[in-house]
Structure 1
Amino acid sequence: MSAGRPGKRVADIEPARLGQLNAGAVEAATLTECLAVDFAALMRTALPETGADAMAAMQQAAGEGISRRMALAARLIHERRGLSAVEELRHHVSDTVRGWACFMIGAAGNMTLSARLAAIRPFADDHHFGVREWSWMAVRPHIAADPDSAIALLADWTAEPSERLRRFASEATRLRGVWCAHLGALRQSPEKALPILEPLQADPAPYVQDSVGNWLNDAGKDRPDWVRSLCARWSVENTSPATARICKRALRSMNRKG
């Protein structure tokens, strides 16, 4: 997950602030605050109707990694409220609660990839950095299961006015995405993702530039010659500062080794 602004240590979060986070009254301002939220306490306040057994399950899982706890919370809510709760959660103040909705969409059965991406779209465009990260992580297994279809669908997102949606198209298909499984098919054949990468080669938003650069930096670990060739072509075709920034980021690991 991208950290947003630099954070403090969990122990440095003031008790009053932590209480607000656990009550779902405020959004987390940093990754540290995201990680500090007590899921059982938040569920008790935000969704008391899920029941004491759900709270107990969340409390028992307190020592698990955050991704597992996000998935567990989503499953518990879905079992008791169904997928219809997603719309309610989407408007909650807490970014963690909105993240639970992302994982409910990710875990929902009998949903096509097209429908799943349409459902996750509002979360991919959320104003909060954490929700945007949860959005692609939640649907990542489905992208991994059918990367060709995902690329075909997400290629259209590269033309969206929102830089958040354009960035989602790149970040969700990263070969070696952080906190998620690698995409083996794209590691072997990164050129399959050109329908997403080509339209973003001179994207004006640094947020998107960083994602595309990271995407190609990942690809360079398996296909360095391909990445060098692509960046060389882009640099000739487009002399914009945006393209130069993307290529510099794309080649950084190879240049350090070289």
Structure 2
Amino acid sequence: MADLEVLKARKGAVRRSEIPSNVVAALNRGEIETVNLVEFLVVDHSKLFRHTRSQLALDDAPAKQIAAAIKKLSGEGVMQRLAETGKVFHASLEGNAHRETVYEQLAKHPSDILRNWAAYMDAANAKLTFAQRLKRAKLFATDANMGVREIAWMSVRVPAADGIVSQIEKLHPFAKHKNYLMRRFAIELSRPCGVWTKHISALKQQPEIAEPLLEYCREDETKYVQDSVANWLNDASKTRPDFVENLCDRWLSETNSKHTQRITHRALRTLRKKADA
């Protein structure tokens, strides 16, 4: 246990070759979570499932199905592996009495990879409403691991992008939440362009739809949220520069907050580059 505590306090290596063998072994046993992308990419998902399978309430049939799928996915990109593994967990356990138990075991596991599998189980569940997706994503949105927090919004956005537009009012409580991670989740989820995911055309053309979300966070004191708001507006500036310029001008006229000043400065970076070109 003492050795694990030492490993948990480590700083991540810059290169794969620099990751200590005991760290790789602990990652593949699911005893610790990754601390950066380099470690994230080195995890052997087949070994990880083999070592953690006994910790999950899995019957033999779904366990074999999941193991085979993970092995087959070994040559794919890591994001595809995560998404497809979550999908096979969902498919193999649909209607199974232990489904929610396995989900909870994954969602609260020490390994961030297993927590990501749980998030993608939700992404694969077509029966979930948009409100249910948001509720279940809260656990992942407030995860201590940055990678899990990114999967949190993707696990909602990928299967339910339409809901972000048609039911955007359901994100208002998140944007007003006392927990800054929840606020950041609301903004990242609704970004017009986003990262590693499809753009939302309606928000690219009509960013006004999400204006209330941005208003709630325009003076946010947390840089993590400030950067998210600025990136949202920078996305929008590529298709609706008029909206972004007018919004930033209004905010700066209504408040002298240093937080708003930082947000607007970063939000206008693409437009400044175009003006200087």
TM-score, length-scaled by structure 2: 0.87
| 1:46 matches 2:52 | yes
Q: Is the 8 A contact 2:32 2:110 kept in 1?
A: yes
Does residue 118 (structure 1) correspond to residue 135 (structure 2)? The answer is yes
In 2: Cα distance, 1:44 partner to 1:80 partner: 17
Question: 1:97-176 alignment to 2 at 5 Å?
Answer: 97-176=114-193
Write the distance in 2 (CA, Å) between the matches of 1:231 and 1:7: 40
Structure 1 residues 58, 142: closer, same or farther in 2, change over 3 A?
closer
Instruction: Return the TM-score normalized by structure 1.
Output: 0.93
SS of the aligned residue for 1:51 comes to: helix
Q: CA deviation at 1:182?
A: 0.5
Using the alignment, how far apart are the partners of 2:260 and 2:154 within structure 1?
A: 27
Report the AA paired with residue 89 of structure 2.
I
Deviation at 1:148, TM superposition (A): 2.4
Aligned alpha-carbon RMSD (Å): 1.7
2:219 counterpart letter in structure 1: A
What residue number does 1:80 align with? 92
Q: Which ranges of structure 2 fall in alignment gaps of 5 or more residues?
A: 1-10
1:242 aligns with 2:259: yes
Instruction: Give the count of matched residue pairs.
Output: 254
Q: 1:6 to 1:237 in 2, by over 3 A?
A: farther
**Contact (CA 8 Å) 1:151, 1:195: kept in 2 or not?**
no
Whole-Å separation in 1 of the counterparts to 2:177 and 2:227: 17
Q: 1:131 to 1:150 in 2, by over 3 A?
A: farther
Distance 1:107 1:57 in 2: 15
The one-letter amino acid paired with 2:265 is K
Structure with greater Cα Rg: 2
% identity of equivalent residues: 39
Q: Distance in 2 between matches of 1:203 and 1:54?
A: 42
Q: Which moved more, 1:233-242 or 1:76-85?
A: 76-85
TM-fit CA distance, 1:6? 7.5
The equivalent residue for 1:203 is 220
1:178 aligned to 2:178? no
Shift of 1:177: 0.7
The aligned counterpart of 2:80 is: 68
Task: Report the Cα distance in structure 2 between the residues aligned to 1:229 and 1:248, rounded to whole angstroms.
Answer: 13
- SS of equivalent residue, structure 1 residue 47: helix
